[in-house]
Structure 1
Amino acid sequence: MANATTRTKRLNETKMILRQPLLLIAILLSFALLLLFVIYPLAKTLIYSLTDETGAFSLANLITILQTPRYGKVFGRTMALGLIVAFIATFIGYIFAYTVTRVNVPAKGFFKTMATLPILSPPFVLSLSIIFLFGKQGLISKNLLGITGSSVYGLKSLIVVQVMSFFPIAYLTLSGILASIDASVEDAACNMGAGRWKTFWTVTFPLSLPGIISGALLVFIQSLEDFSNPATIGGDYTTLSIEVYNIITGSYDMRKGSVLALLLLLPAVIAYLLNKYWVNKKSFVTVTGKPTQARKLIEEPHIKWPLFAFCLIVSAIIILFYGTVIFASFVRTWGVDFSLTLDQYRKALQYGWDSLKNSMTLGLISAVIGGLLGMVIAYITAKRNYYGKRFIEVASVLMFAVPGTVLGISYILGFNSKPLALTGTGLILVIVFTFRNMPVAIESGTTTLLQIDNSIEEASTILGADTGYSFRRITLPMLKNAFFSGIVYSFTKAITAVSAVIFLVSPRWKLVTSNIYSLFDLAKYGQAAAFVTMMVGILLVFIGLFNTVINLLLAPRSKVPQAKSKTEESK
């Protein structure tokens, strides 16, 4: 009976949508774009990997790879690295989140900044800093410790770099979970005689367990997808993403590379689905409709100061890493001549000004398109119910679970021949950036829309405004923060992307990250540091500009007089 009622409601709303041309166009356009630029390339990769040169179905390549000991070893290394990084990064993220939300420590704002900085920074930063500090000419290894010929390449450095890069993901997930736990639940345990330690293990930790699992899964996915760090600091410790790249660029074996890409895609998608559909169901609600009391922050010195010291040490390491890269960009020759100069910037701009300009231009275009399209998809999935909605919901966030290397291969296979010959153009890079980074805007927009009462839009409709006008003048301004965060994230990830575009760049559309990767191969670390420092500055400037522009364009306005005026004009 309930299913029949749901189907009836969906049918009635579908009929209503058919009478609203603008809304119908938005749904059909979203459906078509997702089908073309998300489902089609992934399906193309799956079909290509399971067929032979004649196009006939064949598992020969898959069987060959599964029977080759080398690929099994690489797969095991990739999984082991992901698990190790997920455990350590989640542990650090939890301590940071617990300290910020539960303990009365000084400099909380500073710790929050340090815990989110690696997310907004370009890749290669931490790999560069490890080389500058502990390499053959390392500031610490050679100048301070007197160690000559030290090598920083391998598993240990890779773990350090990935942990410092990805622990902010766990922190952001866990800080939200810990902040949402009702303070009275923990206070009740303390009032019944439980100490801080027992309260933590019997109340706080179990309630935050879904966030711990979610954070660990997200870090695991990021470790699997990571290309830049294993490529620059991994040494002989090869991961699947590097193996796929070497097979395609070195052996020119696209079919074998696509099969390996599927082996990389499978655990990433499983981890994503576990996080999205299983972990979310395990969440425990402690917030009721009653007013909640203010949380009593922990003041005990034996808890407060050790946690403060831990966060301070991690923050100091982050500052050391980033400060080293910035300083190295102004040094003439690292390890030999530490005199200050701007030569690294001059050489970097001569070498790759066009690539820097391309990254900024394409990143800006894709960020605006992805932000707007993300808000539209969020609206039609959160506020409307129709046939085909489930497809849009799943397809729109699917790219978030697809490793960048797999995505690059999929777009080569899907758009390398007519009538969709886009490979080598700037358009394909814009499309990749848009659909790769759009899920964050969609999730942010959906969360915001679910908190907006439908009666607000209904009032606008009663006054004569159509759906498009109501969305543009009422809903979109309310989505200002979600729109801003989506654009900032999309722009940041676009100009710092490596794995998703490593196969798609061309001589005409070379990107700054591919140039930095080339500088690593040439051991021109000073120029790489200059590029990275410029990218950090560009990101900070654009974030400020985005914030200013969006606040001006989407400033709240009077809705009723405008809607009435529009109605009167139509009459």
Structure 2
Amino acid sequence: MRLVRASFLRSEGRMFTKQMRRLLNEPVLLAMIVLVWVLLALFVVYPLLMVGLKSFEPKPGTFGLAVYKTIFSKRYFLVPIFNTLKLGVTVACFGVLIGYVFAYSVAKANVPAKNFFRTIATFPIVSPPFVVALAAILLFGRNGLFTRKLFGGTPPFEIYGFWGLVIVETLAYFPTAFLTLEGTLLSIGSDLEEASQSLGCSKWRTFWRVTFPLSLPGVLSAWLLVFSQSMADFGNPLVLGGRFHVLSVSAYLEITGSYRIPHGSALAIILLIPTLIAFFVQRYWLSRKSFVTVTGKSFLSRAMELPKWAKGILTVVCLILTASIWLFYGTVLFGSFTKLWGVNHSLTLDNYKYVFNFSWEYMKDTLFLASIATPICGVLGIMIAYLVSRKDFFGRRIMEALSLLPFAVPGTVVGIGYLLAFNQEPLILTGTALIIILVFVFRELPVGVQNGVAALYQIDKSIEEASMDLGSNSYQTFWKVTLPLLMPAFFTALFNAFVRSMTAISAVIFVVSAKWNLITVRILGAVSNGDLAQAAALSCTLIGIIVVAMFLMRFATINLSYQMKLRRVER
């Protein structure tokens, strides 16, 4: 056994020495690796470490478990923990159920207008999640449109609390489940379903015996994603929570309200644990799933010919869900033109005048900071994807895990971490624009890394090897060969980083200042003050800017792809 261990250590040592020699021969590559390690250590690991350490510091200069003993012994702290888990599980179940029906209708049942349904389902993705909460207040609040017109001033149900949050978060996060499950269902070849039916199984039996079991990995993945989003949600519970307290808001209030930083940090750590578990379980499940359908035929997923009554039911479900999305977003649009919501619904442009006269500074700050963070996030994401996918060096898998870690960390935890880490020596960034930019960059970094890794797996390594054989080093090969092929993934990462930066709230609310503020914080302030019409106008303006940016980036991507194809033809 000792001989085997010694042989293994010698082998590892020789491999490490060989890798170091190769890196020393390519100083640019070595500099990239060192830079990435420093950035990840400083802006991913260090803030999380500060949150953890602060939670074990009941008083300055002391260390112990007193804070956690207090939290787990008092009902005041236990209630938000159970509420958060209850809300996360409920929203995940409803979100996956609705997302599965919607995805099956679009991917397998071939319902009419499926492209229209698919487009509408993405609306909540490109808007701040708390816009749905604002619409719920406009419709079902105490001065809501439905409350006054249909129910005589008495709300049909209490929108502030658990069920209000379930409705709002389900509507806001079911698109995540839909997109995940649509891809899963499209990957299931129709040949298996047709074979099942040819053997005498009904379409209903085929669904339960073939289609649904093969889609289980996607179901679990979607469930974990929606669960994590609900657990990490901050804006909706802050707006609609009422007496239903959750961890993200409780941690925020402990720090900003009671100024009990150790207690807020401990609540953030407790919030972090289930989201990390969900993240790693999802990755582990997907990495080892054996639900693979391999045939020698063309891989096409054709729509099943369902009975008219079944297709009719699915179409009605899609129409109801689409109508709900239109109702919520249409209410926000209508509310943005009213004088005083709940009192005077006459139309006016005063709210938009208010946006451009008194709140435009918030919009300009948001645009400015997001525009700086977006290219940095895109470039850094592609760089890390290239390193972990194409280069062999010590700690490569750890680098990939750390770059994806912010995806699993709730924004509240990130915000508290940055507040604690960069509010003291040696690096004081609190109150500056840089700290907001850094939050934007490293919160959205995982999407850029994942997109880059997925794109690199589709590029044959022999292309890069040919470039190296012709005398180019890694740096030249990356810029002249690999990066042009990664442009579609790069622009996807840019778009995601821009949208998420423009709509961010949970992390940045801890680091904004009087000099640098954001439009999302302004919207939440307007809702808290009861200025619902102004909040609706601010939300619509923000969504409009995001939609314009989306079309511009899409146009740039198509144009770039065309130019690249043209150059290949010319060569």
Do 1:83 and 1:220's aligned partners in 2 also have CA atoms closer than 8 Å? yes
Q: Tell me, yes or no, if the aligned pair for 2:143 and 2:153 is still in contact at 8 Å.
A: no
> What is the rounded CA distance, in whole Å, between the counterparts of 1:312 and 1:11 in structure 2?
62
The residue aligned with 1:457 is 464
Deviations 1:118-167 (A, max 9, x none): 11112321111111111222221211332346752111111100000000
After the TM superposition, which residues 394-543 of structure 1 pair with which residues of structure 2 at under 5 Å, given as runs? 394-543=401-550
Alignment of 1:42 onto 2:41? no
Aligned to 2:98: 92
Q: Would you say the 8 A contact 1:210–1:283 is kept in 2?
A: no
SS of the equivalent of 1:62 reads helix
Name which of structure 1's ranges 367-376 and 285-294 shifts more when overlaid on structure 2.
285-294
Shifted more, 496-505 versus 124-133: the winner is 124-133
Letter aligned with residue 531 of structure 1 = L
Aligned to 1:568: none
Match of 1:556 in 2: 564
Amino acid at match of 1:259: A
**Which residue number corresponds to residue 361 of structure 1?**
368
Counterparts in 2 of 1:109-188, with a 5 A limit? Answer: 109-148=115-154, 151-188=158-195
* Range moving further from structure 2, 299-308 or 261-270: 299-308
**In structure 1, the residue corresponding to 2:61 is in which secondary structure?**
coil
Q: Any idea what the Cα deviations from partners look like across 1:539-570, whole Å, max 9, x if unmatched? A: 0111122233455567427889999xxxxxxx
- The AA in structure 2 aligned to 1:376 is M
Distance 1:353 1:412, change over 3 A: same
Q: What is the identity, as a one-letter code, of the residue corresponding to 1:434? A: V
Q: Secondary structure at the match of 1:338?
A: strand
Is 1:224 matched with 2:203? Answer: no
1:273 equivalenced with 2:270 (yes/no): no
Deviations 1:312-369 (A, max 9, x none): 1000000010011011111112233222211001123333211111111111111110
**Equivalent residue number for residue 55 of structure 1:** 61
Q: Quick one: which amino acid aligns to residue 180 of structure 2?
A: T
The residue that corresponds to 1:106 in the other structure is: 112
Q: Is the 8 A contact 1:348 1:528 kept in 2?
A: no
> Structure 2 CA distance, aligned partners of 1:101 and 1:10?
48
Structure 1 residue corresponding to 2:305, chosen from 282, 285, 298: 298
Counterpart contact for 1:258–1:409, Cα < 8 Å: yes
Instruction: Output the CA distance in 1 between the equivalents of 2:557 and 2:347.
Output: 39
Give the 3-state SS of the residue equivalent to 2:325 in structure 1: helix
TM-score by length of 1: 0.94
SS of the residue 1:556 aligns to: helix
**Structure-1 separation of matches of 2:296 and 2:371:** 42
CA distance in 2, matches of 1:115, 1:243: 31
Aligned AA for 1:64? T
- Range that drifts further, 289-298 or 248-257: 289-298
Quote the sequence identity (%): 43
For residue 115 of structure 1, report the CA deviation from its aligned partner: 1.5
Distance 1:28 1:557, change over 3 A: farther
State how far apart, in whole Å, the 1-side matches of 2:566 and 2:300 are. Answer: 36
Contact 1:326/1:530, CA 8 A, preserved across alignment: yes
Native 8 Å contact 2:431 2:513 kept in 1: yes
* Letter in structure 2 aligned against 1:548: F
Q: Which whole-Å deviations, capped at 9, do the CAs of 1:232-288 have from their partners, x for residues lacking one? A: 011111101111111111111111110111111111111111111134323411134
Instruction: Give SS of 1:237's match.
Output: coil
Say which of 262, 267, 271 aligns to 2:269.
Answer: 262
Listed as ranges, the gaps of 5+ residues in structure 2 are none
Deviation at 1:47, TM superposition (A): 1.3
Give the aligned partner of residue 330 of structure 2. Answer: 323
Question: 8 Å contact 2:385–2:450 — kept in the other structure?
Answer: yes
Are the counterparts in 1 of residues 389 and 453 from structure 2 also a CA contact under 8 Å?
yes
Q: For residues 61 and 201 of structure 1, do their structure 2 counterparts lie closer, same or farther at Cα, with a shift above 3 Å needed?
A: same
Q: Which moved more, 1:132-141 or 1:244-253?
A: 132-141
Q: Is the 8 A contact 2:203 2:306 kept in 1?
A: no
State whether structure 2 residue 337 is matched by structure 1 residue 349: no
Is 1:314 paired with 2:282? no
Do the aligned partners of residues 201 and 427 (structure 1) sit closer, same or farther apart at CA in structure 2, a change above 3 Å counting? same
Q: After superposition, give the CA deviation of every residue in 1:41-78 in whole Å (9 maximum; x if it has no partner).
A: 11111112113424332111111111111211211111
Give, in whole Å, the separation in 1 of the partners of 2:346 and 2:555: 39
Query: Do residues 189 (structure 1) and 196 (structure 2) align?
Result: yes
RMSD value over aligned CA atoms?
Answer: 2.2
- 1:15 partnered with 2:16: no
Partner amino acid for 1:247? E
Report which stretch shifted further, 96-105 or 373-382.
96-105
Query: What residue identity is the alignment partner of 2:33?
Result: I
- In the aligned structure 1, how far is the partner of 2:155 from the partner of 2:321? 27
Q: 1:83 to 1:473 in 2, by over 3 A?
A: same
Match of 1:66 in 2: 72
* Residues in 2 aligned to 1:13 and 1:499: alpha-carbon distance in whole angstroms: 41
CA contact (8 A) 2:147 2:155 kept: no
Mapped to 2, the partners of 1:125 and 1:281 lie a distance apart of 38
1:301 and 1:3 mapped to 2: Cα distance? 64
Report the CA distance between 1:495 and its aligned residue: 1.1
Within 2, Cα distance between the matches of 1:200 and 1:280?
25
Q: Which amino acid aligns with 1:278?
A: W
Contact 2:40–2:403 (CA under 8 A) maintained in structure 1? yes
Amino acid at match of 2:96: T
State the one-letter code of the partner of 2:23.
I
Please tell me the residue identity of whatever aligns with 2:147: S
Alpha-carbon distance change, 294 to 171 in structure 1, aligned in 2, over 3 angstroms: closer
Equivalent residue number for residue 84 of structure 2: 78
Range moving further from structure 2, 548-557 or 233-242: 548-557
Letter in 1 for 2:48: L
Q: Contact 1:82/1:223 (CA < 8 Å) preserved in 2?
A: yes
CA shift, 1:465, in A, is 2.7
Segment drifting more, 369-378 vs 48-57: 48-57
Aligned residue identity for 1:120: V
Give the Cα separation in 1 of the matches to 2:155 and 2:326: 26
Partners of 1:46 and 1:346 lie apart in 2 by: 45
Check the 8 A contact 2:217/2:285 in 1, yes or no. Answer: no
In 2, Cα distance between the equivalents of 1:400 and 1:294? 31
Q: Note if contact 1:124-1:229 (Cα within 8 Å) is conserved in structure 2.
A: yes
Structure 1 segments unaligned to the other structure (5+ residues): 564-571
Aligned residues of 1:460 and 1:560 also touching (Cα < 8 A): no
